[in-house]
Amino acid sequence: MKSFIEDKCFIIAELSANHGGSIEVAKETIRAAKRAGADAIKLQTYTADTMTMDVKNDYFIIDKGTTWDGQYLYDLYLKAFTPWEWHKELFDLAKQQGLVCFSSPFDFSAVDFLEELNTPIYKVASFEITDIPLIKYIAAKNKPIIISTGIATIEDIELAIQTCKEAGNENVTILKCTSAYPASLEDTNLLTIPDIVERFGVNSGLSDHTLGIEAPMIAAAMGAKVIEKHFILDKSVGGPDAHFSLDENEFKQMVDAVRLAEKMMGKVDYEMTRKKKKSREFSRSLFVVTDVKKGEIVTQENIRSIRPGFGMHPKYYETVLGKTFNGAFKKGTPLHSDLIEEFQE
């Protein structure tokens, strides 16, 4: 089972409902995602009937302080779903564009359908992290799994990872996710990303619902291996997710910021490069600071630790005090062991 995780952050453009019911918009969105620097495009594979029931009672109406409040779940998903008959064309186009294309399935039939398309990765959405039978079914396909944590407790995350491992699948990536649309920067809690790595022993990343690009950039600096962000061709397309999605220019800025963060983080490096060695010439070292005669005592008045760095290391300062010069030396002469009687560094 090949992992998609590499040295650089894997950046996913989430198509979601941002197609406005048009396959041509969906296709152009994929092309735009490539232009913006995404590594992958992600779909969502469901129908209103596989997601919920067409029931109009209080259990099925949204009232959680979101922009979707007042709508019934069935009606929202009926507007937002990506028709299954589009999937093959979208998968094929993404491959032609050099993008990885995969999806979030929401029931067993969607998994079976995505297997027919040979999806390379599976994504488990935030609200499905408690659907253990679905996770078990996905894990058994022996492909990399990305799971968002959104609503999850530590116990939920542990159980999801355990379920994957018991199915023989250890290729699991857990994404920190704040299930608010949009999410506030104060609720992002990016310190969770390295904690996920340490606590659960898996790769980690960020599924981001904030409005800007700051969170992904900082997440990359904190070791995120995956960044997922909702992507829209043009916000005038509208739709349920448009208000917290990035357009092509914004997404490109995010990608550039993430790549810059990766360059800045670099690697742990204590190597003495040629550039560092050259810069050390401006460090401090011991110099003769007054004209001295042969046999004169080395004192605080005739040597000092100053810039530049062509003399002895300042650590020898107290050691050389009280010794004698073996010759006459001019002010500004770098102090070395061969200037002092019977002294070796």
Distance CA 265, CA 277 (A): 22
| pLDDT score for 275 | 84
Amino acid at residue number 21:
G
Instruction: Find out whether 216 and 190 touch, Cβ atoms under 8 Å.
Output: no
**With the C-alpha atoms ordered 133, 112, 123, 6, is the resulting torsion angle positive or negative?**
positive
Element (H, E) at 43: strand 40-45
The average confidence (pLDDT) of the chain is: 94
* Apex 283 CA angle, 278 and 284, nearest 5: 145
User: What tokens appear for 305 in the block?
Assistant: 């630790």
Instruction: Tell me, yes or no, if the pTM score tops 0.75.
Output: yes
| Whether the domain at 10-46+81-265 and the domain at 274-339 fall into the same CATH topology | no
| pLDDT score for 274 | 86
CATH architecture of 274-339: Alpha-Beta Complex (3.90)
Q: List the domain boundaries for the chain.
A: 10-46+81-265, 274-339
Q: What is the CB neighbour count within 10 angstroms for residue 31? A: 17
63-67, 193-197, 337-341: the lowest-pLDDT one: 63-67
Per residue in 200-236, pLDDT (tens digit) is 999 999 999 898 899 999 999 999 999 999 999 998 8
* Apex 138 CA angle, 135 and 144, nearest 5: 105
| pLDDT score for 1 | 47
Instruction: Find out whether 125 and 151 touch, Cβ atoms under 8 Å.
Output: no
Q: What topology does CATH give the domain 10-46+81-265? A: TIM Barrel (3.20.20)
Task: Count Cβ atoms within 10 A of the Cβ of residue 310 and give its class: 0-12 exposed, 13-18 middle, 19 or more buried.
Answer: middle
Look up residue 34 and give its DSSP letter. H
